[in-house]
Amino acid sequence: MSDEGGVSLESTMRALLLASLRSLDTDSQIEILLKAGFSNPVVADLTGITANAVALRKARLKRKAANR
Q: What is the pLDDT of residues 6-61, one digit of tens each?
A: 778 888 888 898 899 999 999 999 999 999 999 999 999 999 999 999 999 999 99
Q: 7 forms bridges with which residues in the sheet?
A: 4
Phi-psi bin for 4: left (phi > 0), alpha (psi -120 to 50), beta? beta
Q: Using the predicted structure, report yes or no on whether residue 2 has a pLDDT greater than 60.
A: no
Whether 58 contacts 40, CB under 8 Å: yes
At 44 the pLDDT is: 95
| C-alpha count within 13 angstroms, C-beta hemisphere, residue 24 | 14
The SS3 call for residue 30 is: helix
At 5 the pLDDT is: 66
Q: Using the predicted structure, report yes or no on whether residue 3 has a pLDDT greater than 80.
A: no
pTM for the structure as a whole: 0.77
Domain ranges (residues) in the chain = 25-66
At 63 the pLDDT is: 94
